[in-house]
Amino acid sequence: TGQILEARYPAIVDELRKDEPDLYLVNHIVTEELEAMAPAFEIKFYPEGYKRSMMETSIAHEKKTFYLKSVGDIESYYKFRPTFGLINFNREYRQQIRISSEEDAAKDFARMQQEDMHSHLANYVCAPLMIFDSVIGHIYVHTSVFDRYTLSEDQALQIDMLAQLLNYAMSKTVIARSYFRHTFTRVVNISMGGLLFELNNRTIFDYLTFHDQLNMEIQIRHHLMHLHGEVTRYYPTREGFNVGVQFHRSGPDDYRTLQNFVAERSRLMFE
């Protein structure tokens, strides 16, 4: 997936390497890619108290992209799909047959199929928009029976990737604007090679388990050090988590300041 993203969307990938991506630029590129696949699409964010449809509830529960291959084929709604990353109403169908029967469940989806036919839909894709692990909206792309094309499985996966890129950009922006600028934590131990710090924010901890590159600002007396490192270990504590980081690079004179601090602290400990 990483190789595909690098090849198809190099401009977005370059933007996502920044501490705070340009959301306007990422959204603009995503929109252009969606327009190239199908002009009929929406990027929707759910307002507070929004009542979700079955499809919106499904993508929020499974956090995967919904793909309906063909409105004309009733089995497209609920037949099991082994394709990685794509779902349909198979989970809802299995839940219904547990409490009623296959016949009743098929009738419910037949009614949904009729509604889609009345709307002249041919097929559609719905990808969840997320900040961290919370679904806050979706990208919905559809074709109609008047179009000469339908959305292929490869295009559905492409829409899924575009949504993931936008999700990452939004999540990273929240990290940069909220947690990085305003969150303080206690350094348990520090050396020339790295440090160990406390963390009691579950959201940040979950983020770091997947994104282990860190930019850190550490105040030592009158000098603010700018350090870059990689998370190498973490373990739970009574208050939250301890996270170990190995330094990779620093700003000018930062290592000199750190060396003086470590040497002075060691001298005080052993005197």
Neighbours of 186 (CB within 10 A): 10
1-33: pLDDT as tens digits? 777 888 888 889 899 888 889 999 999 999 999
Q: How confident is the model at residue 263 (pLDDT cuts 50, 70, 90)?
A: confident
Residue 139: which H helix or E strand, with range?
strand 134-144
pLDDT attached to residue 86: 94
Considering all CA atoms of the chain, what is the largest pairwise distance in Å, rounded to the nearest integer? Answer: 84
Is 171 within 8 Å of 207 (Cβ atoms)?
Answer: yes
> pLDDT tens digits, residue range 84-94?
889 999 999 99
Per-residue pLDDT at 268? 65
pLDDT, tens digit, 9 for 90 and up, residues 46-88: 999 999 999 999 999 999 999 999 999 999 999 887 678 899 9
Residue whose tokens read 């890129």: 165
- Take residue 267 and report the two structure tokens written for it: 């001298």
Q: Tell me: pLDDT of 241 over 80.
A: yes
Q: Report yes or no: 64 and 87 within 8 Å, Cβ to Cβ.
A: yes
- What's the mean per-residue pLDDT of the chain? 90
For residue 187, is it left (φ>0), alpha (ψ between -120 and 50) or beta? beta
Residue 181 banded pLDDT, cuts 50, 70, 90: low
The whole-angstrom separation of Cα 232 and Cα 191 is 15
Secondary structure letter of residue 20 according to DSSP:
S
How far apart, in Å, are the Cα atoms of 184 and each of 28, 119, 139, 217, 264?
A: 34, 52, 35, 10, 24
Give the lowest-confidence range in 36-40, 55-59, 120-124.
Answer: 36-40
Between 271 and 11, where is the model more confident?
11
pLDDT digits (tens, 9 = 90+) for 144-175: 999 989 999 999 999 999 999 999 999 989 88
The one-letter code for the residue type at 101 is S
Contacts of 149 (CB under 8 A, 6+ apart): 38, 143
Could you tell me where the beta strands, DSSP code E, fall in 10-103? Answer: 41-45, 65-68, 86-87
